[in-house]
Structure 1
């Protein structure tokens, strides 16, 4: 997927999420600010899961 298409898709999904959040009455600090699409599966070995199988969150 080209980086331009990827950026457009990310913005489209993010816009939809923000629109839905506003429709449901979420405050701005409750809204999603950024998203990323990851092609590889979530595993402990690649650092995307914690040892307790929770998604790793990067601040």
Structure 2
């Protein structure tokens, strides 16, 4: 996360919040996805599946 600057909240879903950001290295806009996990539930399979495709 040190290589990006979080600018604004872009959207929120069931398992994650997406923020608009800017790369400090390239100055390009990026999407920053923050997955909300609860320890008692474990990692949602949808979050694992998305991580595979990224």
TM-score by length of 1: 0.29
- Give the structure with the higher percent helix: 1
* Higher strand residue share: 2
Higher alpha-carbon Rg: 1
Q: Greater relative contact order: 1 or 2 (C-alpha under 8 angstroms, separation 6 or more)?
A: 2
Query: How high is the TM-score relative to the length of structure 2?
Result: 0.30
